[in-house]
Amino acid sequence: TNALLVVNASHTSTRKIPEKLFGVFFEEINHAGAGGLWSELVNNRGFESGGQHSPSNIDPWTVIGNYSLLRVSTDFSSCFKRNPMALRMEVLCDNDGPNICPVGGVGIFNPGYFGMNIEQGKSYNLVLYIRSLGSINVSVSLIDHSGTRTLATTNIIASDVSNWTKMEVKLEANGSDSRSQLLLRTNKKGVIWFDQVSLMPMDTYKGHGFRKDLYKMVADLKPGFIRFPGGCFVEGEFLRNAFRWKETVGPWEERPGHFGDVWFYWTDDGLGYLEFLQLAEDLGASPIWVVNSGISHQESVEPNNLMPFVQEALDSIEFARGDRNSTWGSVRAAMGHPEPFELKYVAIGNEDCWKPYYIQQTYPAFYNAIKKAYPDIKIISNCDGSDTPLDHPADLYDFHLYQNPSDMFSMADIFDPTSRVGPKAFVSEYAATGKDAGQGNLLAALGEAGFLIGLERNSDIVEMASYAPLFVNDFDRRWNPDAIVFTTSEAYGTPSYWMQHFFAESNGATLLKSTLQANSSSSLEASAIVFQNPVDKANYLRIKVVNFGSSTVSLKIVIDGLDPNLLGTSGWKTILSSANVTDENSFEQPKKVSPVKSLLEKTGTNMDVVLLPHSLTSFDVLT
Ligand code: AHR
């Protein structure tokens, strides 16, 4: 197949792409945060799991020893008001008495989130709250998953802990295992209460608690924004299980945690509202805060009862932006961030447009109150304005798109007919899904690449876009496909993750007009941008072409309006392709489908290039 791409590089036909066109969407789904990006190793550190609105349980904590040796229960004796449960452990055996404890002692262990990654030479900070009427001698150890190797150990000994006492010890690992467990044991008779047991690696991004390898994978996408803390996760199946930010701020020990009933797992909310804002700041990405609008999957709060939700949203903005003397700004400052965060975008709910009250009462109540207090905040409506203009004021409208790969590809032009006036689109969730997309294969990535090229072209009215979901813990797949797959110790990007790298330089770049001429059977999408490389500060022309078809394409690229002498004599060609469209990455072959960069030896304003079947190719030339 032959095709022609004409790029017009004259200044009259260029347009600046929004600074934040491509970003990321983080949702607490698939254990993306608890057991993922958030480095806490203990799962259910406060023994509240299941609660606070249903009976709490100690899962996945497990008892070491039988009923004749110890009795374990929970009671309401915690010293923390908002998370009242503590673990009561009555030890019946004693090495100084007739009922001798088994070797190693009795107690409890925590397997973390599908195991704890403990690495030789690294340090781990253990904090726990303890109380006992007598003296205590508790051994704390990290052991490998088979229970045979001790990787770190220490003892907590105290003569008087009759009042709740915070203990903090450092564990140094002298061995590694990615599925380790934390054990708390004793061989001394008596009653001990435990609460808020936390084990954090000392080695997190900037000490901010983010798992470094996963953080880096997100940062490498150079996201212009980060939408958080989720879609459905924000709503909850029922409001009582929704993400309510006030429960996620303040000292970590005092956070109640909650059961996310859409993705069906407990989170201690260590990754809370402040940590999300911190993450955005660290990434240099604009925070896009999705507030709970009083609508869950099953309920819509009656308009008369909406005020507390509106106030909660206003307070959340004060928390982020208020000065340190304001009511909520002072809470932020006390958490170690006296400077305000740059919060400029608030989304009112998630996928709530068609739910009762949203358009007539809910959205306007939030919109009016927020605009009155913070006129510069950009407000995002859940209603789609791409087809017909919105009937309510908004700065942006949310647009979600999950399609099979080939429909995704053909939706590159979905915003072509959209009105050029009115609120802009925020494509906050897009992904190729379904059978043809597998668990994230090449075909899915190519469908998405075609769609994104369409968004670049329409970036006069599409302001931002992000893939969904960002993360999946391989032990707890709730949604397929995802961009980044991880276990406790490893991670890889799906082809969709690598596809996004081709667009990482588009934010703030200059879009050139380009036209493709191809025969009707070809499936091509192309765009051309000029971006400044932050490293050498030089300007590069980047042409991206997706060949969604199964034939090789000979493409002639003609660059009009550019002095050929201004073009570098060589450049770079980067290809995302693979032997089969169904190819995926895996822990065994993490980069099977990933960009391959090579030298582009012959450049010019007239170039003949070959596009592989089923490929995304970018050509970068100094200009
Ligand atoms: O991305 C997964 C889910 O898809 C989001 O939670 C929700 O907004 C959408 O339905």
Residue spans of the domains in the chain: they are: 2-16+509-622, 62-201
Structure tokens at 354: 């068609």
Does any ligand 1 atom lie closer than 6 A to the CB of residue 481?
Answer: no
Does any ligand 1 atom lie closer than 6 A to the CB of residue 27?
Answer: yes
The dihedral over CA atoms of 319, 320, 322, 323, expressed in degrees to the nearest 10, equals 100
**Distance from the CA of 415 to the center of ligand 1, in angstroms?**
21
**Distance from the CA of 522 to the center of ligand 1, in angstroms?**
33
Please, what are the averages of pLDDT over each run of 10 residues along the chain (623 residues)?
90 89 98 97 92 73 95 93 93 93 96 98 98 96 96 96 97 98 97 98 98 98 98 97 97 94 95 98 98 98 98 98 97 98 98 97 98 98 96 97 97 96 97 98 98 98 98 96 98 98 97 90 90 91 97 94 85 96 98 97 91 97 91
**Phi, psi of 485, rounded to the nearest 5 degrees:** -110, 135
DSSP assignment string, 287-316: EEEEE--SB-SS-B--GGG-HHHHHHHHHH
Does any ligand 1 atom lie closer than 6 A to the CB of residue 466?
Answer: no
What is the SS3 assignment for 118?
Answer: strand
What is the SS3 assignment for 517?
Answer: strand
Q: What is the CATH number of domain 2-16+509-622?
A: 2.60.40.1180
Tell me the C-alpha distance between 100 and 103, whole Å. 9
Say whether the ipTM exceeds 0.90: yes
**Distance from the CA of 474 to the center of ligand 1, in angstroms?**
18
Does any ligand 1 atom lie closer than 6 A to the CB of residue 479?
Answer: yes
According to the model, what pLDDT value does residue 613 have?
Answer: 96
Does any ligand 1 atom lie closer than 6 A to the CB of residue 224?
Answer: no
pTM greater than the 0.95 cutoff: yes
According to the model, what pLDDT value does residue 570 have?
Answer: 84
- Could you say which architecture CATH assigns to the domain 62-201? Sandwich (2.60)
Does any ligand 1 atom lie closer than 6 A to the CB of residue 32?
Answer: no
According to the model, what pLDDT value does residue 368 have?
Answer: 98
Structure tokens at 233: 């996760």
Does any ligand 1 atom lie closer than 6 A to the CB of residue 231?
Answer: yes
Ligand 1 atom with least separation from CA of 262: 6
Whole-number Cα distances in Å, 182 to 104, 112, 150, 295, 322 = 13, 8, 10, 39, 40
Alpha-helix residue ranges (DSSP H) falling in 347-460: 363-373, 405-410, 442-457
Report the helix count and the strand count for the chain, using DSSP H and E. Answer: 9, 34
**Distance from the CA of 78 to the center of ligand 1, in angstroms?**
36
According to the model, what pLDDT value does residue 55 have?
Answer: 60
Structure tokens at 463: 């302001």
According to the model, what pLDDT value does residue 520 have?
Answer: 66
Whether the bond between 534 and the residue before it is cis, its omega within 30 degrees of 0, is no
Residue nearest to atom 8 of ligand 1 (CA): 231
According to the model, what pLDDT value does residue 562 have?
Answer: 86
Burial class from Cβ neighbours inside 10 Å (0-12, 13-18, 19+) for residue 492 reads buried
**Distance from the CA of 214 to the center of ligand 1, in angstroms?**
21
Ligand 1 atom with least separation from CA of 468: 1
